[in-house]
């Protein structure tokens, strides 16, 4: 039989429902692949071998009884470690949560289980999802399967790398400022940020609550859409969840795959398609735009003048919300506790615990956020950033009167070598220059591989209006049908095995 780890999720689901492979065989093949390569990739913080095999057996039993299987039954999935999984370690890649086993499942995990997917384990990330390289994980970085000396993006580098290394066909990420799309771009995989409120935040360890959005990661656009359909939809346990039906993203991806974009208007974002990006990124992007035009799309240039303020506004809003959300890690309720010798006060224990438990980037954000929210500075910083957020939303609204979707490269540069951006936080923040406006607006966006630059993958970003997630899948699938999918060089892959 062909190697199931190289197949798409849709193909694997077909094998299982058709009785050509058992879910246990599929899970075992992926667990074996993880055992063979993850020492070098380090995509996983925890592998749940027993749980995966038990879930796979349940699917096989259901099939044997002739019960109906969902579209992804038996398909393995890796879950970012910022998402609560009942009884399974969940650390958000922080020392402060080491050893914590949540007493409940996040809504997205509940839905994955109900759909019969098989959770392989929890993936590595930047601590509390703050970062763009996975170098801020307290448990060591993930390596990019395209070049093990380079970053896999972040914060969801583990989820993206698990796909590129064929350890999993599907993964879940979270996107607050780009953490699904940017890792997708630099690993040659697909990552989609759904509309904010389109997927539930219940059970997500909160970073910036007005921005956090869980979403699908996959190797093909259709697979991402299949996963999106499983996890999305209203959830009464999330107060910002949208009580509306999810657009049919799977049908949209299949329509796009036919390669017909007649009548579709693409808005080329002037501010993000100039000289700001590396030449190789721009070249791959421009060739892809030409490919889309050949499929019938029309390109119009749109201007979004406030996008240049998105990065500074984000780095006030996200740390402000984080400083409040992370107050719950006090050494009393979860995980780590330092210095509790019976003589120290609660404040002293709290302070020692937070000093030992949080890494440098998390501390930087807490300090920045606390400052931005402090009385006397609130209006100058946080209040001002919220106004910029409104202006960015207006830019989107006005651009969507001229175009169906907006397009840009996903990132200004390809995967960079370890250590090259850690000494200057601003250089790291720049990785999300093109992804952050979407989070401030709340709409959906997808990154799809569009070519290579000096042998490294380049991502193409498609942004759509709020609750029009289907539009971005159509365009992304059309681009994929024109340029194909991208596989790390055999040499690099085989040197892993």
What is the nearest approach in angstroms of ligand GLN to the Cβ of residue 377? 21
What is the nearest approach in angstroms of ligand GLN to the Cβ of residue 174? 6
In Å, how far from its chain's centre is CA 213? 9
What is the nearest approach in angstroms of ligand GLN to the Cβ of residue 175? 5
Both ends of the chain: CA-CA distance in Å?
Answer: 19
Which among 161, 164, 150 has a CA at the least distance from the CA of 414?
Answer: 150
List 132, 155, 162, 320, catalytic entry = 155
Q: Which residue number, 26 or 310, has a Cβ lying nearer to ligand GLN?
A: 310
The piece of 98-106, 172-180, 223-231, 461-469 that touches ligand GLN (CB under 6 A) is 172-180
Please enumerate in sequence order all residues whose Cβ is within 8 A of that of 135, keeping only pairs 6 or more positions apart, or say none.
126, 141, 151, 154, 418, 419, 422
275 three-class SS = coil
- E strand or H helix at 41, and its extent? helix 23-41
Name which of residues 413 to 442 contact ligand GLN (CB under 6 A).
432
Q: Check residue 176 for interaction with ligand GLN (CB under 6 A).
A: yes
Q: Which residue number, 63 or 228, has a Cβ lying nearer to ligand GLN?
A: 228
Q: Check residue 51 for interaction with ligand GLN (CB under 6 A).
A: no
Q: Check residue 175 for interaction with ligand GLN (CB under 6 A).
A: yes
Q: Which residue number, 166 or 382, has a Cβ lying nearer to ligand GLN?
A: 382
Angstrom CA distances, 425 to 125, 273, 416, stand at 17, 24, 14
Note if 179 is an active site residue.
yes
Tokens of residue 106, six digits: 């996040």
Angstrom CA distances, 469 to 204, 226, 257, 458, stand at 21, 13, 16, 22
List 22, 80, 122, 159, catalytic entry = 80
Name which of residues 205 to 224 contact ligand GLN (CB under 6 A).
207
* Alpha carbon distance 47, 25 (integer Å): 17
What is the nearest approach in angstroms of ligand GLN to the Cβ of residue 365? 8
Q: Check residue 169 for interaction with ligand GLN (CB under 6 A).
A: no
Backbone angles phi, psi at 462, to 5 degrees: -120, 120
Q: How many residues of this chain bind ligand GLN (CB under 6 A)? A: 13
Angstrom CA distances, 407 to 288, 300, 435, stand at 11, 10, 11
Binds ligand GLN (CB under 6 A): choice among 132, 189, 200, 438: 132
Give Dmax over CA atoms of the chain in angstroms.
Answer: 73
213 three-class SS = strand
Q: Check residue 408 for interaction with ligand GLN (CB under 6 A).
A: no
Q: Check residue 318 for interaction with ligand GLN (CB under 6 A).
A: yes
Q: Check residue 155 for interaction with ligand GLN (CB under 6 A).
A: yes
Q: Which residue number, 105 or 432, has a Cβ lying nearer to ligand GLN?
A: 432
Please enumerate in sequence order all residues whose Cβ is within 8 A of that of 355, keeping only pairs 6 or more positions apart, or say none.
338
* Alpha carbon distance 134, 121 (integer Å): 17
Name which of residues 83 to 102 contact ligand GLN (CB under 6 A).
none
Binds ligand GLN (CB under 6 A): choice among 93, 129, 163, 217: 129
Q: Which residue number, 176 or 453, has a Cβ lying nearer to ligand GLN?
A: 176
Q: Which residue number, 166 or 441, has a Cβ lying nearer to ligand GLN?
A: 441
Note if 270 is an active site residue.
no
The piece of 144-152, 176-184, 227-235, 277-285 that touches ligand GLN (CB under 6 A) is 176-184
What is the nearest approach in angstroms of ligand GLN to the Cβ of residue 387? 20
Tokens of residue 425, six digits: 């936080």
Q: Check residue 323 for interaction with ligand GLN (CB under 6 A).
A: no
Note if 22 is an active site residue.
no
Tokens of residue 161, six digits: 């790398």
Residues in the chain: 497
Binds ligand GLN (CB under 6 A): choice among 51, 102, 145, 178: 178
Residue labelled with tokens 């984000």: 314
Q: Which residue number, 210 or 481, has a Cβ lying nearer to ligand GLN?
A: 210
What is the nearest approach in angstroms of ligand GLN to the Cβ of residue 265? 28
Q: How many CB atoms lie within 10 A of CB 146?
A: 25
**3-class SS string, 443-461:** CCEEEEEEEEECCEEEEEE
Point out the residues that are catalytic. 80, 155, 179
Give contact residues for ligand GLN (rule: CB under 6 A).
Answer: 129-132, 155, 175-179, 207, 318, 432
């Amino acid at each position: 039989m062909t190697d199931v780890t190289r197949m798409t999720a849709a193909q694997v689901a077909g094998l299982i429902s058709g009785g050509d492979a058992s879910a246990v065989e599929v899970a075992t093949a992926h667990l074996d692949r993880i055992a063979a390569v993850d020492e070098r990739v380090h995509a996983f913080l925890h592998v749940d071998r027993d749980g995966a095999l038990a879930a796979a057996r349940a699917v096989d039993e259901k099939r044997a009884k002739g019960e109906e299987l969902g579209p992804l039954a038996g398909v393995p999935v890796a879950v970012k470690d910022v998402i609560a999984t009942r009884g399974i370690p969940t650390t958000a890649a922080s020392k402060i949560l080491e050893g914590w086993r949540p007493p409940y499942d996040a809504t997205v995990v509940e839905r994955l289980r109900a759909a019969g997917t098989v959770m392989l384990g929890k993936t590595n990330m930047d601590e509390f999802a703050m970062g763009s390289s996975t170098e801020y994980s307290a448990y060591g970085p993930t390596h990019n399967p395209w070049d093990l000396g380079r970053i896999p993006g972040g914060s969801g580098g583990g989820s993206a790398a698990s796909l590129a290394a064929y350890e999993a066909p599907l993964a879940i990420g979270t996107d607050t400022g780009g953490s699904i799309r940017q890792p997708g771009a630099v690993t040659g995989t697909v990552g989609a940020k759904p509309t904010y409120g389109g997927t539930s935040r219940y059970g997500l360890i909160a970073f910036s609550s007005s921005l956090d959005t869980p979403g699908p990661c996959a190797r093909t656009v259709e697979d991402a859409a299949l996963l999106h359909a499983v996890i999305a939809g209203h959830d009464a346990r999330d107060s910002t969840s949208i009580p509306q039906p999810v657009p049919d993203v799977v049908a949209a991806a299949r329509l796009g795959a036919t390669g017909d974009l007649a009548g579709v208007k693409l808005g080329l974002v002037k501010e993000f398609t100039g000289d700001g990006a590396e030449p190789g990124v721009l070249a791959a992007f421009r060739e892809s735009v030409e490919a889309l035009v050949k499929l019938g799309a029309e390109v119009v240039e749109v201007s979004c003048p406030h996008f240049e303020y998105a990065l500074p506004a984000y780095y006030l809003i996200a740390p402000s919300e984080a400083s409040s959300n992370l107050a719950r890690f006090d050494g009393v309720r979860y995980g780590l506790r330092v210095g509790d010798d019976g003589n120290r006060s609660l404040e002293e224990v709290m302070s020692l615990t937070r000093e030992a438990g949080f890494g440098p980037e998390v501390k930087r954000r807490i300090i920045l956020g606390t400052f931005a929210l402090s009385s006397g500075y609130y209006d100058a910083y946080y209040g001002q950033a919220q106004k910029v957020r409104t202006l960015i939303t207006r830019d989107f609204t006005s651009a969507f009167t001229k175009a169906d979707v907006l397009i840009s490269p996903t990132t200004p540069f390809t995967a960079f070598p370890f250590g090259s951006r850690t000494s200057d936080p601003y250089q790291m923040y720049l990785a999300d220059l093109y992804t952050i406006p979407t989070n401030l607006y709340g709409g959906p966006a997808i990154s799809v591989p569009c070519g290579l630059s000096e042998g490294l993958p380049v991502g193409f970003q498609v942004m759509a209006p709020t609750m029009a997630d289907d539009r971005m899948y159509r365009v992304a699938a059309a681009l994929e049908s024109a340029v194909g999918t991208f596989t790390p060089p055999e040499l690099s892959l085989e040197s892993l095995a």
